[in-house]
Structure 1
Amino acid sequence: MAEGVDRWVMPEAMMNAYVIASAGEALVVDPGTLPSRACALREAIEARGDRIVGVVVTHAHWDHFLAMETFSDVPSFAHPAAIEHIHAHP
């Protein structure tokens, strides 16, 4: 991993969440599967003093976006087709 990039393994689906951090701000990429794991991820980010400025979902597989509610207070970003799929299949 590059400096400022952390990988979090989400074992339920064998997928990875990533945190890209710099200058006290963090971007979460694919927050993962379970809200409980996403809460732990968020707590770890904030415990080190980083402010979460956004969440990116790379694609509309459930294991990449199911825990979005944990980050509902920050902006989220995805391709329009992914957003449409997520809204169509809550």
Structure 2
Amino acid sequence: MLYEFFSHEKFYVWRLEPDQLIHYTGVVMLDTFCIYPLTAFLYLTRFPEVEWKAAVHIAKWVLIYIGVEWVGYRLGYITYSRGWNCWWSLFLMYTCF
């Protein structure tokens, strides 16, 4: 949500694109208030306590998010600008964990 607040229309590096059914604000709200909280809930409720299992769990979810982003990009639901691409998203996800 903070990314949308600070980068909306002016400084964005990636943008969720609307389609015929949902306009831009609806897409952002669906993503922010439904998709992210639900996947965060699934991620956290299944987080293992054993360190090596936690590393596998993190890697699995990073790959899931990157896969969804790549499919969204290929289908035209995500656009990049200012040199951003899926590799930068992967790098950012791994450094944040």
**Superposition TM-score, scaled by structure 1 size:** 0.30
Q: Quick one: higher RCO (CA 8 Å, sep 6+), 1 or 2? A: 2
Higher Rg? 2
Q: Which is richer in strand?
A: 1
**Superposition TM-score, scaled by structure 2 size:** 0.28
